[in-house]
Every structure is written in C-alpha cells, then in structure tokens.
Structure 1
Amino acid sequence: MLAGLLLGCGNAPSEDQRAAEDAAIADRVREANETGPPIEEVVPETISYPDMETNDLLGQGCAYAPGTSMGVRVIARETDAYLKIDGEMVRFAADPGSRELPSNTRSLYNGRTHSLRLAVGEVAQEGEIEDTTFEGTMWLYDRWDRVVYTGTGTANCGV
C-alpha cells in the first residue's frame, strides 16, 4: 500500500509543468473573452430631408453619399455626426483629438455601440459659394473595432 502511495506521488506534475498548464488555460480564457461575436454588417439608410429638419442637421458640415447614389448616409458636423440605422437616427460625438476635415468636421466620431471614421480625398468639384465636393470614404466599426460597413463616394462639405 505504501508503494501505491509513493507511485501516485511520482505522477504529480512539477511546479513548472503546472505553471505552464495554468498559463495556457489563462491564455485560452483571455482569448475567448476578447473574441467578439460574429460580425453583424450594418447598412446605413438614406437620411431624408425630414430627418435633417427633425434633428436640426441643416447648416455647416459634410454630407457623405457612398457609391453613385445621391442619398446621404452620414451628416458630420463640428461636434457630432448622424447616421440612420434601422429607421433611427443615431448620434455620434466628435473626437476632438482626431484630424480636422473640411467644414470643421472630424475624422472620428464615437457612439454608444459603434464608431465612425471619415476621410476626404481630392476635390471633385468647387462650389460657387462655399460648398465643395470631395471624394469621401466612411467606415463604421463595431465595439470590437471591426469594420461593419464601408462606403466611398462623394462628400459635400459647406454651408
């Protein structure tokens, strides 16, 4: 019987083995906690003129319309930006530390569940008064910083 106990003691993992196993388990748990759920793509809807009036979105800013569509998907202003998702206007707060774009807009806006990154390229058309049309790109990220929507088209900036 004493021999059985001694043999049982010899099979126990060493402290180094136990520490390596614990580290591997901790890595798997950390990886599982950091992995988000499957990506849910978002397709922003066109912001209508009544949406703009209701949310007081008329005035200085940039309106982004992806593709060849004239339907505005994002309205960015100095302090905030709006996107229409599932029939609701979603507000994003400007990140004051991000790069400044035309019409005092910003390159990054943060919302409760998503963040919005904007960029403008070359001038496509100079306006007569203060409006200027650029090539514009928008990216919508989920809370795990994964792109759930991207669109490139025009960005009309001005008053």
Structure 2
Amino acid sequence: MRRVVLVPLAVAALAACQAEVTPEEKAMFDEEAVAMVEQANDSEPPLLPVTPEPILTPDIEQHDMYGASCSYAPGTSLGARVIARQADAFMKVEGEIIRFAADPGARELPFATRSLYNGRVYSLRLEVEGEGAQSGDEVRDYEGTISLRDRWGRVVYTGTGLVQCGA
C-alpha cells in the first residue's frame, strides 16, 4: 500500500518542478527528436558476410531448378553455389534457398542468363569471361565471378571459379 501512495506523490512532485514549455521550445525538442530518428534510420547496420552453401540435388528437385542454366562454383569446387536461369537464379544461404528475379535490362550471358538478379534482401551479380570451352554435348565451361550485395549495395560475398552452362 505504501508504494501505491509514493508513486503518485513522486509524479506530482516532478510535475510541480517542471516549468511550462513554450511552443517554440516544444518545436525545437520535436525537431531534435526527428533528427535523431532520421539519423538512426539512415545509418547502415554492420556488414554481415555471407557464405553460400552448395545447392544439392534435393534442393534442385524441391525448387524445380531444371532447364537451361549456368551453375557457378567457387575455386575448384564442383558444388554449385548459384544456379542462374533465364528468368531467375538460386543461392543457398544458412540452409535456405534464396530465389532472385532476373533483371531484364541487365546484360545477357550464355544460355539467356543475366548479369544481374534481384531478391528481397540481396542482389546477385554474375560475370562470365571469354568464349568458354566445350565440355559436353550441350555444356560449355567458363571462368566466372559472382558477387552478392546487401540492400545497401555492399559486397557480402564474392567468388571466382568454374561456370558450367548448358541445357
């Protein structure tokens, strides 16, 4: 019971100590508060690097990634980290498949893939070098680079390696 009486008394004492705020002072305080919120919203969060995982056969089956495409694998790895098609591309991050939409205005790469794909959180840029070498009936091998950017345009992953394009 004692606490219930003390809280209203403390509030009343504080209210009595405060002077009336003029409209000009209130406007100034409001401007400062708005500026602080805008500054907090404009600041970029810390850079969080991403490590793509290999896209496995169950992922390909589940997300219907069949058809003409280019598969990007870093270094000497054969595990594709990106599968790019004419209309979309896929990457696996933290066990989840991320789907990207092709940018129709981006440069066209082999097998009607694109150099830029956009997603909700990331954008994916692809580069293919040279004419490639025939490695199968309908497969060409290229040297390529992938880069993943966050919504602020910062690179969170980049890799160079084998790109296999085919039907």
Q: Settle same-fold status: TM greater than 0.5.
A: yes
1:64 maps to which residue?
A: 72
**Alignment length, in residue pairs?**
135
1:62 partner SS:
strand
1:99 paired residue among 97, 107, 115: 107
Cα deviation per residue 1:6-38 (whole Å; 9 max; x = unaligned)? Answer: xxxxxxxxxxxxxxxx9xxx7x98776433111
Match in the other structure for 1:74? 82
Match of 2:156 among 148, 152, 157: 148
Q: TM-score, normalised by structure 1?
A: 0.78
**Paired amino acid for 1:77:** R
- Separation in 1, partners of 2:46, 2:149: 13
Q: Counterpart amino acid of 1:83?
A: M
1:149, 1:34 → 2: CA distance? 23
Q: CA deviation at 1:130?
A: 1.8
In structure 1, distance between residues paired with 2:138 and 2:107? 21
Q: Which runs of 5+ in 2 are unaligned?
A: 1-30
**Is contact 1:123-1:135 (8 Å) kept?**
no
Match of 2:51 in 1: 43
Q: How does 1:1-159 map to 2 (within 5 A)?
A: 33-159=41-167
Q: Which amino acid aligns with 1:79?
A: A
Give the Cα–Cα distance (whole angstroms) in 2 for the partners of residues 81 and 96 of structure 1: 13
SS of the residue corresponding to residue 100 of structure 1 reads coil
Q: In the TM superposition, what is the alpha-carbon distance from 1:47 to its structure 2 partner? A: 0.2
For 1:88-118, what per-residue CA distance to the aligned partner results, in whole angstroms no more than 9, with x for missing partners? 1110000000000001000000000000000
SS in 1 for 2:136: coil
Structure 1 residue 53, shift from structure 2 partner? 1.1
Between 33-42 and 138-147, the greater mean CA deviation after superposition: 33-42
Gaps of 5+ in 1: 1-21
AA partner of residue 47 (structure 2): I
Residues 58-101 of structure 1, C-alpha deviations (whole Å, 9 max, x = no match): 21010000111111000000000000011011100000000000
2: CA distance, partners of 1:98 / 1:134:
19
State the TM-score, normalizing by the size of structure 2: 0.75
Larger radius of gyration: 2
What code does the residue aligned with 2:108 have? E
The residue that corresponds to 1:15 in the other structure is: none
Counterpart code for 2:43:
T
